[in-house]
Structure 1
């Protein structure tokens, strides 16, 4: 089951998601400690990042004597996986989907409707193709 991230895990994932490439622990530490009253230790960030790697959320790649970390999935892909897993665990998805549709911001609802309309037309075109 895909659990929610703890606060430090979330901060690490946010840093990796917004990075232009792999990050070393020192780079993660700099980003995470920016604006903090009490800076975190290098080993704390390293331990939590390694734990995220063991859980399959980040990859590790040697860069010289250091290790560079990259998110396995984009933020959007991760959110989709969490949402699909939550839906998969329901015996009846309809009420949750309806409640979700009622709860989202009107602009998001329009984007969702547009995406579903596009998907529906794409599915219909594939069905009609010989």
Structure 2
């Protein structure tokens, strides 16, 4: 196994096959899309190398969006209509000192599509993407992952509520009261 291969890493999720390898001599990053998703795994809690503005982690089996996935989803959630990769790229690059490449944003957008977070429709030669789930559904999925670890639900919720301000607690109590009365839940 080469040194570059030894440095390879990727997200462990079965739908992600993007593998990053950093050549130790030149420090250049290359991507290999052909490697099996399970070819490389990180030990639980291990930080995987930083890569083109995003990095992957696997902490106790819990997975959220990578930094670039989150940034793309933030752009998609912020607009009401379906958006092209080019439009996402322009919005992302407006906020960055070093611009991202079109192919980088396109690849990660396609990964989000394969994961089921984005749907797409053909518009001429390009695709337009829209979120299939809301930001709140994403946050709830992260909480579901916490519950799946066997964490004490009551202790976890108390800890979260301790960090909320009084207005947030009042909103939560009102929402729970509506739910308790058979309202939307």
Normalising by structure 1, we get a TM-score of 0.84
- Give the whole-Å Cα distance in 1 for the aligned partners of 2:168 and 2:151: 26
The number of residue pairs the alignment matches comes to 123
Alignment of 1:78-117 (within 5 A): 78-90=138-150, 92-117=152-177
Please report the RMSD computed on the Cα atoms of aligned residues, expressed in angstroms. Answer: 1.8
- Give the whole-Å Cα distance in 2 for the aligned partners of 1:2 and 1:22: 29
Normalising by structure 2, we get a TM-score of 0.61
- Give the whole-Å Cα distance in 1 for the aligned partners of 2:126 and 2:114: 18
SS of residue paired to 2:99: coil
Alignment of 1:68-83 (within 5 A): 68-83=128-143
Change in 2 beyond 3 A, CA 1:13/1:2: farther
Q: Tell me, which stretches of 5 or more residues in structure 1 are unaligned?
A: 124-130
1:54-87 Cα distance to aligned partner (Å, 9 max, x none): 1111112111111111111111222122223322
Q: Tell me, which stretches of 5 or more residues in structure 2 are unaligned?
A: 1-60
Stretches of 4+ aligned residues off by more than 6 angstroms: none
Is 1:60 the counterpart of 2:120? The answer is yes
Tell me the equivalent position of 1:19: 79
1:2-34 Cα distance to aligned partner (Å, 9 max, x none): 721111111100000011211111101111101
